[in-house]
Structure 1
Amino acid sequence: MTAPGRLCLLSMLIVGARAEAKLDVNWTWQSSLESEQYRHTLLNDTSGGSIQSLDSLVTATAEWNSVTGTFALEGNNLLTTDSQDSVSKKLIVQELFWQPETELAGVPLDLSIGKQRLDWDVGYGFRPLDIFKSYERNPVGIQVDEGVGAATASWFDGVGQWELVATDESWASTNTDQARLAEKQHGIGLRRYALVGSTELQGVMYFDQVHRGTVGGSVVAVLTPALELHSSFAYAQRYQSYKQGDMYEPVRWGTSNDSYQFLLGFNWANTTGLNIIGEYWYDGRSWDKSMWKKALQRAEELSQHPATTGLASSYSWGLDNTSLVAQNIMLHFKMNMSALHPKYLWLEKLEPSLDLLVSPTDGGLVATPRLSYPVYESGESDMKIELASRFYTGAGNSVYANMPDRDLIFINLKGNF
């Protein structure tokens, strides 16, 4: 049965079981005006230029007794300066699940059945425990995140929670080249969460036909009212990614053995409104420094000959791996302007933030500044305007400096009603 067919069957079962429920709907919308500056690099054989476009998104989150659904209407390139791009509109079921309660042998069980996101990780810039489906972290424009087909059963003891889970990734649409190539996983797993004092502990075991066995875990420790440490890891017996071959072979999608992912970070805040998050992570599914060096050298050499330009361009597919580089350091700065001295209260509604993503092995840098301001607030609705940008730069031979995008600038309007 196709994913739309499964969702239709689930909807009919839910309607039949909960016909008496009360419907509550919350709406959000976002319009995003983007200016993309692109450039010629070793991984992009086109000349430099710019494209401007307008995208929009309307999302409805409906709650109907124990049923929750999130539906998105997305419109891309509603206005654009690129004559090769056409308007696209689509309706996406992000989530639709039923959460009944039952009892087994005297033990209360919380059940969840349907299409849903399972968020278990603790990281800000990277999430090793997104083992069912990966999501881009901290997008600057419009992004629609879908869940996977999942059935869970959880119960609580005196320390924390046990959770059984079965998932099917094919319920999510395939809207990227990587997603279309990847084999969709379906499997079963067990999760344990425990709160010990002021420390949160989590362990995960999961088995599917793609990765075989996956184990992972996380810890969050509150050291002081101002400082928290967090860490997470995951190991999988197999993983899918783009792989390099011999000099005159194109980059191919394939399966490899043994992937390790690890994240360590802190979250600190002071009484003057400054919040800093710092994280280091390693993603073994990505190309490391030596592999990227070889990729850039081969791309440069192969692009010199017309017969091998196709081989040269295939090395840009490495940019579609889950992480661009294996090692990263991120610093996130955010200022709560309302905590400033009273003489600066006219600034209290401004929300500035800055993300700095550094590749320590090759000197690459991605900078993402944001500034948002609420222009309307009431008890039932609100609207804010956000100016966001993302700049790819760093050492000349770094991966980030060879991204086709030089910089992205967004003007976002967001609202709830």
Structure 2
Amino acid sequence: MDIRHQHSWHAGTAVLLRSVLLVCSFYAPLSFADDAETWQFSGQIRPLWTSAQSTGHDPVSSANALLPGLIPVMSDNAQVQTELHVISHGITAIGTLQGQAFDTDTKHELTNGTAWLNELYTGWGNGAWQFSVGKKIVSWDVAYGFRPNDMIQQEKRQTFITSTLIGRPLAMADYFDADNAVSVVLVNPRQNNTTDPSIEPALAARAYHHAGNLDWYGFARYGEQTRMSIGTAAAWVVSESIELHASYRYSQKMGLLSLQQRPTLLSNTFLSNTSPWQTQLTDHIQQAVIGTTYTTEDQQSIILEAWWDGAAPSDAQWTEWNQRNHALNAIASTTPSLQRPVAYNLAWQAQLFSAANNVRRKNLYARWSWQSGVWTTAIDTLYTPEDKGRATSASLEWQGDRWHLEAGVRIYGGPANAIFAQLPQKRIVYSAATWAF
């Protein structure tokens, strides 16, 4: 073990000890109070280690080659998360403390510590009506790999480590009976002048009806900038082994990232002195997913899904993006005096990777998993037929009474022009150990 890795390990251990002491400082005095029966505590501590291998020919690597350290890329990352759940007097709270120590591809060592509230809300109600106000996790829709109608949480799917989501500020009313449910949500009420759907003020609603083996859903949302969107979904239990599901959403407007050239004082029109990728409202966006799950008696499960995401960059945008990468690299090699502005322009190219939930509009997804006692094995692949890119993951998990151990790998690949093959990291290996209390 070299000095760099010793430093990361020691920093991670120190963070873990501080996190444990902080949790104990909250937990101990309250759990033994006179009214301890009105308090409910739980939580978890999870050390997590990841190691990533850089692609080497992506825009981020090209930018760092011209201007070293412009965008730090993590290689080894030691992280510790401490999560505390508290319920008392009608208030639910979930908070997370995180410390991490990581090495970058330039051999720099960085450490930081953060804390955030996942949820903090109060709820009340009587009978069929329930109300809640505060910061709360509200996830909608029926599919696994992609959920078009997740209008409140806007969760990014297919993460290889499952973590508690960070809720949204909202006020919510729910009505339900044996076969029906209706939810009305005012989300992000204090935000304004934004087209980001995750923080834009909006009013959303969901209706649910259960009819035999079929579940029907209807969704609607009105955003301050993005206006109206409507959606529907269904889940049908065909037999004990087979389930079918589908989801569709139409949005009047969405804020999408697009390339906008600006005249500059620089000598080449391909160069910009600010990011040329800007969010603008785009009309008439459609998103849809269809899928099935098959489960065997010995607890093997197969998920197959196909989806279209009109909010993802188009094929024309990615073609233009690839052409721009080649042009920027050509400028850097022929005009050394422009290497610095070229480096910044290449770095801005990476914005398109996270512009939407999906990098391509057409997607095919398959997942196999098998639970055998305390062990669970899973393999999944996301394939983008437009450029033949792929993201493949494999994982192994062990579940005890309090401990949950997991490890896995994700590999991105495809032809040289595939977007997955041009991500900054082509392989990520991870392991985690979660202790629940």
Look up the equivalent residue of 2:414 and give its one-letter code.
G
Other structure's SS at 1:87 match: strand
Contact 1:262 1:282 in 2 (8 A): yes
* Partner in structure 2 of residue 55 of structure 1: 79
* Partner in structure 1 of residue 59 of structure 2: 43
Whole-angstrom distance in 1 between the partners of 2:139 and 2:110: 34
Contact 1:300 1:312 in 2 (8 A): no
1:352 pairs with 2:377: yes
1:180-329 equivalences under 5 Å are 184-246=199-261, 248=270, 250-306=276-332, 307=338, 309=342, 310-322=344-356, 323-329=358-364
Contact 2:245 2:291 in 1 (8 A): yes
CA displacement 1:328-362 (0-9 Å, x = unmatched) = 11101101224xxxxxxxxxx33110110100111
Offset of 1:86 from its aligned partner? Answer: 2.5
Whole-angstrom distance in 1 between the partners of 2:190 and 2:243: 36
Whole-angstrom distance in 1 between the partners of 2:419 and 2:196: 23
* Residue 407 of structure 2, aligned match among 387, 407, 413: 387
> Which segment is superposed worse, 43-52 or 156-165?
43-52
Distance 1:144 1:197, change over 3 A: closer
* Residue 397 of structure 2, aligned match among 372, 388, 399: 372
Look up the equivalent residue of 1:36 and give its one-letter code.
A
Distance 1:102 1:183, change over 3 A: closer
Whole-angstrom distance in 2 between the partners of 1:182 and 1:154: 22
**TM-score in terms of structure 1 length:** 0.82
CA displacement 1:273-292 (0-9 Å, x = unmatched) = 32001111111111122321
Distance 1:180 1:283, change over 3 A: closer
Contact 1:148 1:170 in 2 (8 A): no
Look up the equivalent residue of 2:394 and give its one-letter code.
P
Question: How many pairs does the alignment contain?
Answer: 373
> Which segment is superposed worse, 63-72 or 39-48?
39-48
1:70 pairs with 2:94: yes
Other structure's SS at 2:367 match: strand
* Partner in structure 1 of residue 117 of structure 2: 93
Contact 2:82 2:96 in 1 (8 A): yes
Contact 2:140 2:151 in 1 (8 A): no
Whole-angstrom distance in 1 between the partners of 2:422 and 2:43: 39
Offset of 1:370 from its aligned partner? Answer: 0.3
Look up the equivalent residue of 1:200 and give its one-letter code.
D
Whole-angstrom distance in 2 between the partners of 1:56 and 1:157: 42
* Identity fraction in percent: 18
Name stretches of at least 5 consecutive residues in structure 2 with no aligned partner.
1-34, 262-268, 333-337
Offset of 1:21 from its aligned partner? Answer: 7.3
Offset of 1:259 from its aligned partner? Answer: 1.6
Distance 1:80 1:244, change over 3 A: closer
Offset of 1:366 from its aligned partner? Answer: 0.3
Whole-angstrom distance in 2 between the partners of 1:140 and 1:56: 16
Whole-angstrom distance in 1 between the partners of 2:41 and 2:160: 26
1:409 pairs with 2:417: no
Contact 2:129 2:175 in 1 (8 A): yes
Contact 2:121 2:135 in 1 (8 A): yes
Offset of 1:190 from its aligned partner? Answer: 2.4
Offset of 1:22 from its aligned partner? Answer: 0.6
> Which segment is superposed worse, 247-256 or 355-364?
247-256
* Residue 147 of structure 2, aligned match among 116, 127, 136: 127
Contact 1:69 1:97 in 2 (8 A): yes
Q: Tell me how large the CA RMSD over aligned residues is.
A: 2.7
Whole-angstrom distance in 1 between the partners of 2:411 and 2:282: 32
Whole-angstrom distance in 1 between the partners of 2:36 and 2:285: 48
Look up the equivalent residue of 1:273 and give its one-letter code.
Q
CA displacement 1:17-38 (0-9 Å, x = unmatched) = xx99711011112111111111
Whole-angstrom distance in 2 between the partners of 1:101 and 1:148: 21
Look up the equivalent residue of 1:154 and give its one-letter code.
D
Offset of 1:253 from its aligned partner? Answer: 2.6
